[in-house]
Amino acid sequence: MKLHTRAVHTGDRKRTSAANGSVPSTTPIYTASSYFYNDIDQLDRVFSNETPGQSYARYGNPTNDALEELMASLESGAGALACSSGMAAVHMAVNTALTDRRRVLLAANALYGATLNMLAKVFEPQGIETIFLDFCDEAALRDAIAEHRPGALLMETISNPLLRVPALDRIAGMARDAGAALIVDNTFATPLMLRPIELGAAFTVHSLTKFLSGHGDVLGGVVVSDAENLHPLRMLSRTLGFGLGPFEAYLSMRGIKTFPVRMERQCANACRIASWLASHPAVERVYFPADPKHPDAENIRRLFPQNISGAMISFGLKDADRERVFRVMNALRMIVPATSLGDVHTMMLYPAMSSHRDISPKHRARLGIGDNLLRISVGIEAEEDIIADLEQALAVK
């Protein structure tokens, strides 16, 4: 089945049936914390993973199972783990990848600010050495792999917030040759644009909160794994307890049913809005993957579907400081100035204040994140209305 069809049907109508033979058309919300069987031997077999089944909600839940089956299908993985947040999913992927590998991580220097913080403030004190470098510099990355012999590599499909696109397929080959597990945060691209496991990644990570759920009403994350790493991922999750709650799993699954259609609309809107911004006199520079002058244009042409370039746009305001940026954001009438992305409504974020707030100003400057940089997550509204709101806000001095 095609991805659009799998998004609607996978995971549903498998786990319950009433005594009269009726089957719910969507997976219900299971709130039970524990499960029992009429035969205690069966519970014993479930605990030991000899037979599938439920025993304790930290180990698994039928609602979560359905969501995990859906995400594994969409990302071409062997299985998945639904987590309490996107950051919990990153934590689980890194921990699993380094369970029996050398505790050295090569990480892209262009990552979500909270991910950078986790690597520096959580994993480094635990003895995991992290080396940051530009994953778009393939020669430097190859040399770093040879020098540091990492157990894992961590990158984003489309970097946050400057929208760089490393050569994921070639990086996966480097990781495989070195015996390292490649972890890819695919939140910005979604499975509609790219499926990293198909290209050789060991783990794909998503913030379910964003494009997949898509309605700003759920906090969650997911790790999709290849076959080699699925068992250690699930075993580790039993101990750490980062699992998603059943209500959030239900909302995520409901949102995913429409995500491909929403994403197509958002990508189409983003193309038109990025072109409009590029011609605006108040805009210094636009960062968008469909730009023919994008520094990673060759990777984008090779890796992404034609005319699907993502729904994220970043742009620099000409001669603007923090106060000017705030005036523009305060002037918005429809666009939501909120700290997230991927919702059906268009959102604007100031990276220096939110996503990369905990990164020092000097570090932000080295990454190219200036104090005049704004990021837009384009929604499904009429493009004319989005542009009209941007036009009146940018007119504010």
Alpha carbons 229 and 135: distance in angstroms, whole number: 23
CB 166 within 8 A of CB 176: no
Kindly state the DSSP code that residue 243 receives in the 8-state scheme: B
Alpha carbons 113 and 364: distance in angstroms, whole number: 10
Strands (E), the chain: 79-83, 104-108, 129-133, 152-156, 181-185, 203-207, 221-225, 283-287, 312-317, 347-349, 373-377
**Would you call the peptide bond into 161 cis, given omega within 30 degrees of 0 as the criterion?**
yes
Tell how far CA 379 is from the center of its chain.
17
Q: Environment class of residue 266 by beta-carbon count within 10 Å: exposed (0-12), middle (13-18) or buried (19+)?
A: buried
Residues in the chain: 397
221-225 and 79-83 strand pairing = antiparallel
SS3 144: helix
283-287 and 312-317 strand pairing = antiparallel
C-alpha angle 273-114-167 in degrees, rounded to nearest 5: 60
292 CB neighbour count, 10 Å cutoff: 7
Kindly state the DSSP code that residue 122 receives in the 8-state scheme: I
Strand partners of residue 153: 106, 182
SS3 286: strand
- Numbers of helices and strands, H then E, in the chain: 15, 11
* Residues that are catalytic: 58, 112, 185, 210
Alpha carbons 261 and 4: distance in angstroms, whole number: 8
Alpha carbons 103 and 129: distance in angstroms, whole number: 6
